[in-house]
Amino acid sequence: MTQEYIGTKQITAWPAPKDGADGYSVKYSDGYTSWSPKAVFEAAYLPLGNISHLPAHQQRVIGEKAQLDDNLAKLRAFLMGRAQALVKADEFQRLTLQADAMGIYSGVLAERIAAFGEPA
């Protein structure tokens, strides 16, 4: 039986053309290295910046916020665009409530990230 999957992993990558095509070399946590075309890579991964000096749990919070903010931006764009024409009024209300909650959640994560430099 087939089913759908969503992957979440943190990788290290750098721009690396191959055979004249733009792309990225990708290094996974187990040391495996591969290459991805630019469009495929950018559709699958969000940049987090250079955070390798941070502990793993702090890196995960930064990744969580990046994913949340990406999803929130897409939801807000949908709400400002075609949402009212595509969904019923009560669903539009729920989506708006969801966007509000995501915004609050993003703010909490931002506060946590800002506090990373503070002593415990």
pLDDT confidence of residue 63: 95
Instruction: Give domain status of residue 2, yes or no.
Output: no
Residue 35 lies in a domain: yes
pLDDT digits (tens, 9 = 90+) for 50-94: 999 999 999 999 999 999 999 999 999 999 999 989 999 999 999
Its pTM stands at 0.86
Statement to judge: residues 73 and 113 lie in one domain:
yes
Query: pLDDT (tens digit, 9 = 90+) per residue, 9-18?
Result: 899 999 999 9
Residue 70 lies in a domain: yes
Confidence of residue 120 (pLDDT cuts 50, 70, 90): low
Using alpha carbons only, what angle is made at residue 114 by residues 73 and 51, rounded to the nearest 5 degrees? 80
Alpha-carbon 27 to chain mean position: 18
Q: Does residue 64 share a domain with residue 40?
A: no
Q: Is the pLDDT of residue 26 over 90?
A: yes
- Same domain for 98 and 61: yes
CB-based contact 24:41 (threshold 8 Å): yes
Place of tokens 């630019």: 38
Q: Identify whether residues 70 and 90 lie together within a single domain.
A: yes
Distance between CA atoms of residues 28 and 32, nearest Å: 5
**Domain co-membership, 24 together with 60:** no
3-state secondary structure of 27: strand
In this structure, the answer to whether residues 70 and 36 fall within a common structural domain is no
User: Is 16 within the bounds of a domain?
Assistant: yes
How many domains does the chain contain in total?
A: 2
Residue 63, in any domain of the structure: yes
Residue 113 within a domain: yes
Looking at the fold, whether 74 and 106 belong to one and the same domain comes out as yes
**Two tokens, residue 84:** 């009212």
Q: Are strands 33-37 and 12-15 parallel, antiparallel or unpaired?
A: unpaired
Torsion of CA 82, 84, 90, 95, to 10 degrees: 40
113 and 66 both lie in a single domain? yes
- Find the domain containing 31 and state its range: 12-44
Does any domain span residue 89?
A: yes
